[in-house]
Amino acid sequence: MTTKRRTPGRTLSAALALAAATLWPTAAPGSAASDGGAPRVVVLGFDGADAAMTAQWMDEGKLPNLARLRDEGTFSPLRSTIPSQTPVSWSTFSTGLNPGRHAIFDFLKRDTATYRPSFAAFDETTVPFLYGERNGWVFGLGAGALVFALVLVALRLFRARPAKAAAIALLFGAVAGGGVGWVAATMLPAQRPLAINRQQGETFWEVLGAAGKKVRVMRMPVTFPPEPYPHGELLAGLGTPDLSFRIGKPFYFTSELFFQPRSGNEVSIEIVELVDNKGIIDASLQGPPNKLFPGQSDYIRIPIRFDVAADKSRLGIEVSGARLALAAGEWSPWVRFVFPFNPLIKLTGIGRFRVLSIEPEVRVYLSPIQFDPENLPPIVDVTTPRSFAGDLVRRFGLFKTIGWMVDTWSIKGGTIDDDVFFEDTDFTVETDEKMLAGLLADDWDVYFHYFEFTDRVQHVMWRHIDPEHPLHTPEDGARYGGSILRAYQDMDRIVGEVLERMPQDAYLFVVSDHGFAPWRRTMNYNTWLAHEGYLVLQGESDQRANLEDLFDKGTFFQSVDWSKTRAYAMGLGNIYVNLQGREGQGIVPPGEPYQQLVAEIKDRLPRYVDPETGEHPVAYVFTRDEAYGVYDPELIPDLFPANASGYRVGWQDTLGIVAKRVVEPNLDVWSADHCSVYPPLVDGILFSNRHLTLAEKPYMADVMPTLLDLYGVESAVPLDGKSLLRR
């Protein structure tokens, strides 16, 4: 990977200037401060904090710090993007642009030629490593020439005859050059992976940094690979992969015979079967894909050994030189894993074990192995500047570098339970709170810190507060029904701590990207398209797909007859027309036939009725012109169906699979969502410790121009948001 990202349109106009207007806490927003000092701004981002739930719990006295902000400053629901997804909405927050302009419109995008899905936030390609295929020749010739010159000079100093000296030097140079050339040719890769961030537009930290402001950004989504900007420091967020270059691949070691993850699991969990449940058990740990030497192996693997104590009181774990002894229910500290590509090139990661049980069966959880911030490879950065990662470790200890920090995949796959999920969540929040407290005391003008736990907890715990969800039980409801409120109270506590620690004259904004809705039933758009004749299959298919297929180049749409298919779905609620000249096997002519098909699907889809409930699963269908106005017609979907409350697009549908039924019950612990939900049903939150001008419901894009307005800085391009300061 690399820290370089493609950023068309990110050149700041030379006309940008820093205005002298400044603010004191007693001054009205937008007015000049009496001493000419510039304001300081803290922005806290809480993913998925829902406006309606926040308002309810404030009114009930359960969120006192947020209620204080509301009463003394401003609170409002915050309008999310279309669709209401984390990377989409935070990209709008960062750039002040709608998704059609910043080009992040979903978690997934499709290849128009092959119909294959891939991640929308970044592209991956390869570039030569150093001199590429010529590494052996270049290093060999260089080493040979250097040794030849050194030996020749040494021999001449001892007055050896020129011809003899040259012959001896040539021999030494040839041997050295041949050896070094062989090492370089065999142990240095010819190619290396390159990640290219697809987000377009200038971010608020780039604009303010260019205007001389010190801006620190912690874990903002869609910032991998991190790009340097003036006067700033950034820790990359959502999109930063683990060591396997996945969103997050946890491990599950088990001696259970024929264990299978929970049915319907679409995520990447590495399940390792242990051959015994007693004594010494040797196994293998799969590490990163061998992207540097792909012809040698598919993945880099290292040995791992488990040693079950005779009395079953402890489990020994040996891996990469580390030796642990853990009881059941115990977490390990951070463990370093070293994956050697060869004797010269190694990759270091960090992870944590949790012994789930020792008897009757050995069951061990291992978190996703992520990049070690103290031992980053030269081609990967998780911060800008690069040294910031080491600074954070020295101040706060090791920390998660993966973008999706809280592991929701293992609870979804059934390898951990609710209690272990919360142990991981609490550990993650505590680490970031420690960072937040320390970094607030530093010198900065604008400080942004993002927390994801509010989103992750709601995704997997909603079933405990929703009696209508198929997996709800009264027993678990009684035990875990307060878990979402607890997450909101953790958010409230963090806000209170920041209010106490931040400078008294600082501005505080608390923002979320979207809210939440229950997910009780699944809407499969490809199945509806097939039933209505828009998508045509070649016979029956039992194909299923998961995220591993994205990484391992699996096949998609195996049974689709593209010569007869007019529309298909992919991603978290996107419909594409199989358009001539755009899709690889497009059949729908552009112009009026295309427009008629779009209008027909837009009209018919919301009228579909769930035969079991009598409800309409689709609340509305947006055309891309309605949603964005300006967009890349090759990239952006033709239609965005938006689900009614209780419904969400199916997991298999997102990967282009045609399920058996149009609508089916959601039998997944992932029991609430927002991704394909009608945006007005999932408003986020906006708080400020100042009174803001809110003639209408503010939009996610309004925060960036508000921040720029505080400093008298203007964007080089027109923004889709507007300043919320009083004028």
- pLDDT digit string, tens, across residues 299-319: 999 999 999 999 999 999 999
- pLDDT digit string, tens, across residues 252-284: 999 998 888 875 555 678 999 999 999 999 999
| Least confident residue range of 235-239, 291-295, 600-604 | 291-295
How distant, in Å, are the alpha carbons of 259, 260, 329, 415 from that of 263?
11, 8, 25, 12
| Closest to 530 measured CA to CA, from 660, 417, 678 | 660
What is the pLDDT confidence band of residue 652, given thresholds at 50, 70 and 90?
Answer: confident
- Residue 53 pLDDT exceeds 60: yes
Q: What is the pLDDT of residue 690?
A: 95
| Closest to 188 measured CA to CA, from 134, 127, 135, 143 | 135
Residue whose tokens read 């209508």: 468
Q: What is the CATH number of domain 521-680?
A: 3.30.1360
Q: How many CB atoms lie within 10 A of CB 562?
A: 18
pTM of this prediction? 0.90
Residue whose tokens read 């701590």: 497
How distant, in Å, are the alpha carbons of 59, 240, 649, 711 from that of 197?
42, 11, 26, 28
| Least confident residue range of 168-177, 396-405, 594-603 | 168-177
Kindly state the DSSP code that residue 599 receives in the 8-state scheme.
H
pLDDT-above-70 percentage for the chain = 92
- pLDDT digit string, tens, across residues 494-542: 999 999 999 989 999 999 999 999 999 999 999 999 999 999 998 766 6
Q: How many CB atoms lie within 10 A of CB 491?
A: 24
- pLDDT digit string, tens, across residues 201-231: 999 999 999 999 999 999 999 999 999 999 9
Contact 251, 284 (CB under 8 A): no
Q: What is the pLDDT of residue 165?
A: 83
| Closest to 396 measured CA to CA, from 408, 406, 409, 383 | 383
More confident residue, 196 or 67: 67
| Alpha carbons 185 and 139: distance in angstroms, whole number | 9
SS3 sequence of 156-213: HHCCCCHHHHHHHHHHHHHHHHHHHHHHHHHHCCCEEEEEEECCCCCCHHHHHHHCCC
pLDDT-above-90 percentage for the chain = 78
- Residue 25 pLDDT exceeds 50: no
Burial class of residue 132 (count of CB atoms within 10 Å of its CB; 0-12, 13-18, 19+)? middle
Contact 597, 567 (CB under 8 A): yes
Mean pLDDT of the chain: 91
Q: Residues 653-674: what's their mean pLDDT?
A: 92
Q: What is the pLDDT of residue 95?
A: 98
For the chain, how many residues are written? 727
Q: Where are the domains of the chain?
A: 130-188, 250-376, 521-680
| Least confident residue range of 18-27, 265-274, 441-450, 557-566 | 18-27
Return the C-alpha torsion angle 515, 521, 525, 528, nearest 10: -150
Contact 3, 226 (CB under 8 A): yes
What is the pLDDT confidence band of residue 13, given thresholds at 50, 70 and 90?
Answer: very low
Q: Tell me the chain's radius of gyration from C-alpha atoms.
A: 28
Q: How many CB atoms lie within 10 A of CB 457?
A: 24
Q: What is the pLDDT of residue 268?
A: 76
